[in-house]
Structure 1
Amino acid sequence: MQFSVYQESHIGGRKVNQDRMGYSFTRDALLLVLADGMGGHARGEVAAAVALQTISALFQREAAPYVKKPRRFLEEAFVAAHRDIHAYRLAHEMPETPRTTIVACLIQHNTATWAHCGDSRLYWMRDGRILARTRDHSHIESLIAKGLVPPSARATHPDRNKLYNCLGADSLPKVEVGGAEGVLPGDRMLLCSDGLWSMLPDDDMARRMDAQPVARAVPDLLRAALEAAGDGGDNVTALAIMWQGSSVVDGLDAMTAGAMPTVISTEALPQDLHSTTILGAPVAPRPAQAPDADAAFDDDEIEKAIAEIRGAIEKSSRILK
């Protein structure tokens, strides 16, 4: 297994960076995770950090050296992270449970499976084209799916920032799982927070990702998003890989490969070795019963979830000021 990888985060115009990202890998499996803590004063960075630690700990337990049931793993890992966020709040006597959006991708045996809650996104790209991306769990995306507003309303609709699914809410998250798709050498996977994708058109991101190695493409994307957002911009975070599949750097000559310090090859790793960039002591997750991944929110559930999430964040902001 071989891939090139790069991750970067910028605080933007905010006082706190509530985004977190990282990756973990074994000889045969790679896990990418990105979380965007919700709410300016609701300690979203805590929820994001706990979520990454829990999911990474589960990966280290289950990947031996690969995960047997990827879809089930992602569903259960998200639910375990949700419960550990609530446990953290109780242990630290926080006035409200912090919340976070999350997106993760598990790649093994040249197959990618991904999952998300909220509006942190995954893009799967090939030759400058977007083959797939996650659909935000937002009110505007629900309206677009029903044909009530056109896709062009994504950037201007007053409800574009209203989310109805996340980790840390009072109810269990509904984990949307996708993928089980074959990836080819040269394919790019980009995980990013809304501070990035909301500032740049999808086709522009795909073009920039295809034009250069990920170690240069990700900083380029962040700079462009920060410039577009101005002084009041959100946190901007991205984690990207270019998949190379086999132990040989497919599609790259030896000189180019040697010049890319971000290339990771796992072929020589011991079967029981796990490596991760996710900081912090692993949270000991409990076995979790995953919700029905195929169950969709109805209109009443969406409105209730949006109101509950916004109300909790506003209440927390008043208490912590």
Structure 2
Amino acid sequence: MNFDSALLTNRGGRPNNEDACRWAAHGETIAWVVADGLGGERGGEVASRLAVDAFLEAFRLHPSLSPESLSSYVVEADRAIKIRQAEEPELSRMGSTIAAAVSQGHRLRAITLGDSRFYWFRNRKVFFQSKDHSLPQALCDAGMIAPDEIRSHPNRNVLLRCLGGPGAPEPEISPEGELEPGDALLLCTDGFWDPLPEADMEKELGKAASASDWLRRMEALRQERAPTLADDDNYTAIGVLVGSEPE
């Protein structure tokens, strides 16, 4: 497939940017990753960078789409954070979310942990969306709140799983899917998706001429809403538009 990829990251209203993002290719296999650091001050910034770097290094050494490989990349990201926690006690409480997608030709899987999200669009509509590992998502799954209440829930930032926490990481792995020309992917931290309902993501995708244009359009909407946000968080996103194979 032909991929048009773009990224953006911004500290928002915070003094530091604790998000990280990057992508890497190995032959026809491509990995895109975003992470949102937890722990405040420099702890979050360190954790997100370690998560992205360790995930992509593990991917580079063994590029694969298998669930076992994807899980191993997350294990390495978790290990990198825990090693630094042990080395520097002042960073002992740092952690990170992670959202990644790996493509091999037409085939695609995603893996997520925490409340950074993966979206897959087809025909300019959400085709697949990851679930958060958060208290509001758990309440939603239990039928106690509606999906559109997750964004406004008072405990929306309470995570149930993340990198760097006690025990082994328990990421969510999507079923394998087949990409089609015209599809779009979005990986983003909660600071990006929180002020942007999925309908707005779809609307701006329909207007976009490129992946970078799509991100710019969504960022412009987010910036319009920033003054009304109770917490203007860091925000980070990777957008991907899927095209036909080059001739």
Q: How does 1:149-164 map to 2 (within 5 A)?
A: 149-164=145-160
For residue 159 of structure 1, report the CA deviation from its aligned partner.
1.8
The question of whether the paired residues in 2 share the 8 Å contact of 1:70 and 1:106 is answered with: no
Amino acid at match of 2:14: R
Partner of 1:215: 212
Percent of aligned pairs with the same amino acid: 29
Correspondent of 1:70 among 32, 50, 66? 66
Q: CA deviation at 1:221?
A: 1.1
Instruction: Return closer, same or farther for 1:208/1:83 CA change in 2, 3 Å cut-off.
Output: same
CA contact (8 A) 1:226 1:236 kept: no
Distance 1:96 1:205 in 2: 36
How far 1:245 moved relative to its partner? 4.4
- Equivalences for 1:1-321 in 2 at 5 Å? 1-41=1-41, 43-63=43-63, 67=64, 69-212=65-208, 213-230=210-227, 232-248=231-247
What displacement does 1:25 show?
0.5
Preserved contact between residue 35 and residue 120 of structure 1 (Cα < 8 Å): yes
After TM superposition, give the deviation of residue 98 of structure 1 in Å: 1.2
Instruction: Name the count of aligned residue pairs.
Output: 244
What amino acid does structure 1 have at the position aligned with 2:234?
N
- The structure showing larger relative contact order (alpha-carbon pairs under 8 Å, at least 6 residues apart) is 1
Structure 1 unaligned regions, length at least 5: 249-321
CA-based RMSD = 1.5
- Looking at structure 2, the residues matched to 53 and 156 of structure 1 have their Cα atoms a distance apart, in angstroms, of 32
Equivalent residue letter for 1:244: G
Larger Rg belongs to: 1
TM-score by length of structure 1 reads 0.73
Assess, with a 3 A threshold, how the Cα gap between structure 1 residues 93 and 156 changes in structure 2: closer, same or farther. Answer: closer
- Kept in 2: contact 1:34–1:191 (CA 8 A): yes
Query: Structure 1 residues 28, 234: closer, same or farther in 2, change over 3 A?
Result: same
Is contact 1:37–1:43 with CA below 8 Å preserved after alignment?
A: yes
